[in-house]
């Protein structure tokens, strides 16, 4: 029982990342009709926003300590962060420690800008082109973004820790009557799940309860008619692209303490997120979220030793097996809309 | 006037023979008059450095390239000479190799076997490389070693740690300076016994490819010989990034040691997940839970950040070796000085092994007096040397594996600076990591005979 609970928790945090990326992908596909293969790269750029803020907060001035030597035997150059110098050791170090939450504020405008720039600068020229062209150009863009990040940050993962207050684990075992330490789960992964829930709830509320959201939903259902009413739907869709980029970016920022960011992390999530979108139903926002969590939990269960001993290698193919079964039984996915990508 | 009998069949036959000749790989045609592939004819000789320039090991590849560049500079008489000053063999004079200036070409392995073979093939066929070196993966090393054997050039392996490279996949034209998985386990076992005792239950997470399998097999055998029990061995996909679902079952498995047979990004991510799940603070069976990472690297330690503190593993070499363990490891400081002054930071173990391999190849050519791969093989087989940073070393004739001391290291608790993330716990002497050439973990392949190519 404790093992099952642990894998459900694992699935929820893994599913959170899938759901956030798939939500952005679906927003872009539902509004602009573009299959955006650069979406994983936006997740990666979000994670590197956390790395960048960490580096900015660690910007240091150099002093020479004549009593110590470096690896070549020269007097040791000691780096002292400006933040610590300006605000004192306690407050300065606390600011550095909280670099990931601070990066959220930094990432929102950056990601919206990146989203706008991508859409206005490149993707809008491909609206009327076949989906294959859109996939090729966005995939190429993803590779360019990866290489730019690798040029500046290197290929090695960069550790980006959560604030000290959120390191360690929460003991669910004690709460549920199990032995102590039987069901423990890292605080930051729980926060990630909570954060994802808030973002998903926020996006749905925005679309459901605001006039802007209502127009966007109308445009997703029938773009032409909304245009005939004199509404500049393109402008709103561009905004949605920026919003989708921000969602992916925030997912990346918060993911940085879970796995040290590296330039390739977006690609690792991209393919799975596309499967999530297809399983959820192309263009369906609730479908993307539901499929994200479903596949995340199934993937975690498939990694259990008991399951792997029955079907070796199932952990590597479970998502695709489930995708095949769902598409055979429900060709439009879990919550797919009629007519989307069916022409 | 002579009469020519031109028949349709004759033209077809001639065309087929000529076409077949043109289709032959260049390396089977090039410089055949010298009797071996890519025999240097001018006043230069070309070496091919095949390293990951893109992909997850690009940082290690960059460090390997720096080392190769430095080695070539030193071979040509530039810089301060680095380890040429301390190397026990004095055949190299700083005037290139056999008087020919050394130049090099580079390839990108992408840490993919097919891409690595393609780039090595291109360097041999198009650029005339007479020796190939580098790489940061055992899968790549085995693939490129096989190609070099077919092509008739020497392969001086870079970073490859699988037993198979000089075990079942060994080749006469291939040589490995780096230590291997068996040696890591043999060096680690006594230290693990000393640190954690002989009554332990180990849970293994293992990367599902050649290196992971041999590493796991080696460390399991070594720890079981101590009296440890193996609770489970779970194979994890090489492409895995989030290891939480593999770490969670460890919590209630009854194990009190987690062995991470992972390297690079896999190791950084699995260790991070293990620390997040509180394994390092856990008490099981009345003992502190421990984590072991059999193969270490400085770049991995950097990527893992503070999670690496106190974690025990093994290394081929460390830049602090001579300072901390004495003059027996001469060459280390000379190399660190050359490398550090040129690039601004100390070299990694990947850099050291690549530098040493280049020098060893050049020295073998100089001692043999020929670039012929079979002469080089003969010069390297059974060659004993010193002064390249690892202490006394033997290139064993039976399998072309170097035998030398192995370092047991640990993540530093309070690193003095960003370069001292790893501290040396112990140096395990060569005798303790030496095994018989027919050891079962290395069985299954044959060295064969050297292939000079053309």
- Chain A within 8 Å of B330 (Cβ-Cβ)? no
> Is the four-CA dihedral B49, B55, B61, B66 of positive or negative sign?
positive
Residue with tokens 């079979």: B374
* C-alpha–C-alpha distance, residues A246 and A266, integer Å: 14
* Partners of residue B175 on adjacent β-strands: B156
* C-alpha–C-alpha distance, residues B335 and B288, integer Å: 39
Higher per-residue confidence, A95 vs B249: A95
The percent of chain A in helix, strand and coil, each rounded to the nearest 5, is: 70, 5, 25
Contact (CB<8Å) B245/A299: yes
SS3 at position B199: coil
The pLDDT tens digits for A276-294 are 888 998 888 899 999 999 9
Of A154, A268, A305, the CB nearest to B249: A305
* C-alpha–C-alpha distance, residues B151 and B143, integer Å: 13
From A49, A50, A47, A111, select the one nearest A246 (Cα to Cα): A111
Residue B85 has a pLDDT of 95
Whether A149 and A48 have beta carbons less than 8 Å apart is answered as yes
CATH superfamily assigned to domain B44-179+321-404:
Response regulator (3.40.50.2300)
Q: Count interface pairs A-B at CB distance under 8 A.
A: 113
Rounded to 5°, angle at Cα A240 from A297 and A228: 130
The widest CA-to-CA distance across chain A, in whole angstroms, is: 77
Rounded to 5°, angle at Cα B69 from B63 and B72: 140
The pLDDT tens digits for A131-174 are 889 889 999 999 999 999 999 998 888 999 899 999 888 888 78
CA A20, chain centre distance (Å)? 6
CB contacts under 8 A, A 145-164 vs B, are 150, 154-159, 161
CA A282, chain centre distance (Å)? 19
Residue A86 has a pLDDT of 95
- Chain A within 8 Å of B209 (Cβ-Cβ)? no
B304 contacts in chain A (CB < 8 Å): 159, 260
- Chain B within 8 Å of A70 (Cβ-Cβ)? yes
CB contacts under 8 A, B 332-391 vs A, are 336-337, 340-341, 345-346
* C-alpha–C-alpha distance, residues A173 and A177, integer Å: 6
pLDDT exceeds cutoff 60 at A210: yes
> Nearest chain A Cα to B343, which residue?
A72
- Chain B within 8 Å of A55 (Cβ-Cβ)? no
> Nearest chain B Cα to A261, which residue?
B303
**Rounded average pLDDT over A29-47:** 90
Residue A129 has a pLDDT of 87
Count of beta carbons in the 10 Å neighbourhood of residue B34: 17
* Alpha helix segments (H runs only) across B26-85: 26-29, 58-75
Structure tokens at B107: 């390839």
Contact (CB<8Å) B303/A156: yes
Contact (CB<8Å) A10/B417: no
**Rounded average pLDDT over A202-210:** 92
Count of residues in chain B = 454
Whether A24 and A247 have beta carbons less than 8 Å apart is answered as yes
A260 contacts in chain B (CB < 8 Å): 268-269, 272, 303-305
Rounded to 5°, angle at Cα B47 from B44 and B49: 150
* C-alpha–C-alpha distance, residues A228 and A316, integer Å: 48
- Chain A within 8 Å of B276 (Cβ-Cβ)? yes
From B401, B409, B410, select the one nearest B433 (Cα to Cα): B401
Give the list of residues 6+ apart from residue A10 with CB closer than 8 angstroms, or none. A300, B244, B245, B248
Domain edges within chain A: 2-329
Which segments in chain B show pLDDT lower than 50? 1-6, 11-12, 14-15, 17-33
Residue B4 has a pLDDT of 45
Count of residues in chain A = 343
A54 contacts in chain B (CB < 8 Å): none
ipTM here: 0.84
Instruction: Work out the percent of chain A whose per-residue pLDDT is above 90.
Output: 48
The pLDDT tens digits for B402-445 are 999 999 999 999 888 888 999 999 999 999 999 999 999 999 88
Of A68, A169, A265, the CB nearest to B241: A265
Contact (CB<8Å) A70/B319: no
* C-alpha–C-alpha distance, residues B435 and B444, integer Å: 16
CA A227 vs CA A190, A235, B244, B285: distances in Å: 43, 11, 48, 70
CA A72, chain centre distance (Å)? 42
Report DSSP state, residue B316: S
Structure tokens at B346: 């100390």
CA B348 vs CA B21, B150, B177, B402: distances in Å: 45, 31, 15, 19
CA B133, chain centre distance (Å)? 9
A303 contacts in chain B (CB < 8 Å): 245-246
Count of beta carbons in the 10 Å neighbourhood of residue B83: 23
Residue A316 has a pLDDT of 83
* C-alpha–C-alpha distance, residues B183 and B227, integer Å: 19
Give the H/E segment covering residue B398.
none
* C-alpha–C-alpha distance, residues B89 and B372, integer Å: 20
* Partners of residue B133 on adjacent β-strands: B49, B156
Give the H/E segment covering residue B145.
helix B138-151
Give the H/E segment covering residue A307.
helix A305-310
Rounded to a whole number, what is the distance in Å from the CA of A163 to chain B's nearest CA? 13
Rounded to a whole number, what is the distance in Å from the CA of B298 to chain A's nearest CA? 11
- Chain A within 8 Å of B277 (Cβ-Cβ)? yes
The percent of chain B in helix, strand and coil, each rounded to the nearest 5, is: 45, 20, 35
Contact (CB<8Å) B269/A181: no
* C-alpha–C-alpha distance, residues B73 and B67, integer Å: 10
From B319, B342, B333, B297, select the one nearest B69 (Cα to Cα): B342
Contact (CB<8Å) A299/B303: no
DSSP letters for A238-284: HHHHHHHHHHHHHHHHHHTTTS---TTHHHHHHHHHHHHHHHH-TT-
CATH superfamily assigned to domain B182-315:
Response regulator (3.40.50.2300)
Q: Buried b / exposed e across A100-111, counting CB within 10 Å, b at 16+?
A: bbbbbebbbebb
Give the list of residues 6+ apart from residue A88 with CB closer than 8 angstroms, or none. none
Whether B450 and B374 have beta carbons less than 8 Å apart is answered as yes
Q: Where in chain B is the domain with CATH 3.40.50.2300?
A: 44-179+321-404, 182-315
- Chain A within 8 Å of B241 (Cβ-Cβ)? yes
Of B234, B278, B345, the CB nearest to A184: B278
From A49, A45, A48, select the one nearest A141 (Cα to Cα): A45
Rounded to 5°, angle at Cα B282 from B301 and A47: 45
């Amino acid at each position: 029982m404790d093992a099952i609970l642990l894998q459900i928790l694992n699935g929820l945090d893994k599913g959170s990342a899938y759901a956030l990326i798939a939500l952005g992908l679906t927003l872009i596909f539902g509004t602009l009709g573009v299959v955006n293969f650069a979406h994983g790269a936006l997740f990666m750029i979000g994670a590197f926003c956390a790395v960048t803020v960490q580096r900015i907060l660690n910007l240091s001035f150099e002093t020479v300590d004549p009593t110590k030597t470096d690896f070549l035997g020269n007097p040791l150059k000691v780096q002292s962060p400006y933040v610590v110098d300006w605000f004192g050791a306690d407050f300065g170090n606390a600011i550095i420690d909280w670099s990931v939450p601070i990066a959220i504020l930094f990432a929102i405008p950056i990601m919206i800008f990146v989203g706008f720039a991508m859409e206005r600068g490149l993707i809008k020229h491909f609206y009327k082109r076949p989906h294959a062209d859109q996939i090729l150009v966005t995939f190429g863009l993803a590779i360019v973004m990866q290489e730019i990040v690798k040029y500046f940050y290197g290929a090695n993962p960069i550790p980006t820790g959560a604030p000290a207050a959120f390191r360690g684990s929460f003991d669910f075992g004690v709460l549920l009557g199990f032995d102590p330490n039987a069901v423990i789960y890292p605080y930051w992964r729980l926060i990630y799940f909570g954060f994802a829930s808030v973002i998903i709830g926020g996006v749905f509320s925005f679309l459901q309860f605001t006039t802007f959201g209502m127009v966007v939903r109308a445009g997703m259902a029938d773009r032409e008619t909304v245009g005939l009413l004199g509404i500049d739907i393109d402008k709103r869709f561009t905004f949605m692209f920026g919003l989708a980029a921000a969602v992916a970016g925030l997912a990346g920022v918060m993911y940085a303490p879970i796995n040290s960011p590296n330039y390739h992390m977006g690609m690792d999530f991209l393919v799975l997120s596309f499967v999530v979108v297809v399983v959820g139903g192309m263009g369906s926002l609730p479908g993307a979220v539901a499929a994200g969590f479903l596949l995340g939990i199934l993937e975690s269960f498939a990694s259990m030793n008991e399951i792997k001993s029955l079907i070796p290698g199932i952990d590597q193919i479970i998502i695709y097996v489930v995708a095949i079964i769902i598409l055979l039984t429900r060709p439009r996915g879990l919550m797919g809309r009629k007519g989307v990508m069916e022409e | 006037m002579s009469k020519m009998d031109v028949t349709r069949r004759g033209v077809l036959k001639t065309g087929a023979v000529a076409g077949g000749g043109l289709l032959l790989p260049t390396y089977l045609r090039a410089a055949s008059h010298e009797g071996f592939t890519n025999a240097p004819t001018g006043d230069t000789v070309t070496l091919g450095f095949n390293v990951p320039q893109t992909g997850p090991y690009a940082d290690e590849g960059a460090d390997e390239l720096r080392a190769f560049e430095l080695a070539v500079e030193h071979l040509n008489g530039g810089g301060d000479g680095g380890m040429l000053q301390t190397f026990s063999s004095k055949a190299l004079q700083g005037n290139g190799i056999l008087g020919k200036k050394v130049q090099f070409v580079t390839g990108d392995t992408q840490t993919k076997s097919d891409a690595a073979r393609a780039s090595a093939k291109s360097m041999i066929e198009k650029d005339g490389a007479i020796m190939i070196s580098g790489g940061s993966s055992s899968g790549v090393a085995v693939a490129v070693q096989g190609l070099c054997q077919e092509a008739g050039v020497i392969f001086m392996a870079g970073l490859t740690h699988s037993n198979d490279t000089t075990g079942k996949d060994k080749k006469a034209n291939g040589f490995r300076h780096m230590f291997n998985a068996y040696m890591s386990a043999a060096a680690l076992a006594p230290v693990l016994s000393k640190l954690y005792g002989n009554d332990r239950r180990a849970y293994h997470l293992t990367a599902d490819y050649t290196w992971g399998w041999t590493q796991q097999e080696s460390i399991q055998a070594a720890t079981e010989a101590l009296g440890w029990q193996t609770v489970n061995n779970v194979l994890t996909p090489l492409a895995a990034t989030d290891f939480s679902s593999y770490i969670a079952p460890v919590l209630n498995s009854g194990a009190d040691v987690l062995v991470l047979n992972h390297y690079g990004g896999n190791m950084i991510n699995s260790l991070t997940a293990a620390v997040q799940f509180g394994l390092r603070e856990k008490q099981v069976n009345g003992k502190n839970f421990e984590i072991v990472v059999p193969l270490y690297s400085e770049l991995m330690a950097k990527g893992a950040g503070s999670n690496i503190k106190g974690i025990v593993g093994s290394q081929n070499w460390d830049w602090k070796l001579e300072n901390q363990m004495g003059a027996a490891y001469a060459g280390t400081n000379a190399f660190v000085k050359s490398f550090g002054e040129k690039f601004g930071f100390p070299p990694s173990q990947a850099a050291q092994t690549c530098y040493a391999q280049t020098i060893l190849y050049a020295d073998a050519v100089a001692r043999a007096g020929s670039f012929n791969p079979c002469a080089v093989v003969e010069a390297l087989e059974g060659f004993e040397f010193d002064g390249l940073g690892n202490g006394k070393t033997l290139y064993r004739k039976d399998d072309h594996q170097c035998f030398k001391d192995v370092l047991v290291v640990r993540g530093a608790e309070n690193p003095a600076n960003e370069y001292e993330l790893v501290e040396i716990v112990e140096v395990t002497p060569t005798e303790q990591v030496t095994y018989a050439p027919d050891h079962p973990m290395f069985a299954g392949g044959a060295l064969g005979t050297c292939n000079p190519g053309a």
